[in-house]
Amino acid sequence: NSSESHNCAKSILTSDRLQIVVTLSEFFNKTWEAANCANCLKNNSEELSNSTVEFLDLFNKSLTCFEHNLQGQTIYLSPNNYTEVCKNCNETYKILNDLYNNLQRMNRQGGESGHSAHLCIDVEDAMNITRKLWSRTFNCSVPCSDTVPVIAVSSFILFLPVVFYLSSFLHSKQKKRILILPKRIQSNASLVNIQEKYS
């Protein structure tokens, strides 16, 4: 009976004491939402978004570059011996990192998936793995472009007190001190002279 179908489904799903079907359904739905899986898809469809496909393709190229430059070398090399990986894979890593930053920016504004939240867990995990390999395992570092302006501003701020005290010293008038004897001493001396004359 179609009018009783909802009650029938409910009684079948909750027939056991554990309600295993309902529990599993809630678990998978919560996992899907917590992992932001919908953000990897085009408007909640089953197809991956173009940006996700592009990112995963670049991620695979980065890992391939890492492996290709490590061929014939042991994984326990000292950090100084990973210069080939850092030099040859720098461009690929930079493009991947820039794409990830752009995806984050786009996702905050709604993005392809229509959700304004975090990126899906596949993209975030892939970027975390790549950054960990790049910085910790291979010890590659990209020089910060903000270093020169920071040093210039810091030096300027530290130099300001010196300029202030130097200019205040040069512009202040240094007056010579003139000692003026008090009049009382002169009057006492004249009084002594007068007494000497009369004595």
Q: For residue 24, what are the domain limits? A: 8-137
In a domain, residue 35? The reply is yes
Instruction: Give pLDDT, residue 112.
Output: 52
Residues of the chain with pLDDT under 50: 1, 77, 79, 113-114
Q: Examine residue 178 and state whether it is found in any structural domain, yes or no.
A: no
Whether residue 194 lies inside any domain: the answer is no
Please report whether residue 29 resides in a domain: yes
On whether residue 193 sits in a domain, the answer given is no
147 in a structural domain: no
Q: What is the pLDDT of residue 1?
A: 46
Residue 27 counted as domain residue: yes
Q: How many domains does the chain have?
A: 1
Cβ atoms 22, 14 nearer than 8 A: yes
**pLDDT for position 197:** 60
Q: What is the pTM of this model?
A: 0.59
Report yes or no: 37 and 121 within 8 Å, Cβ to Cβ: yes
Instruction: Give CA separation, 29 vs 23, 47, 125, in Å.
Output: 10, 18, 20
Q: Is residue 17 part of a domain?
A: yes
Residue 37 burial (CB count, 10 A): 15
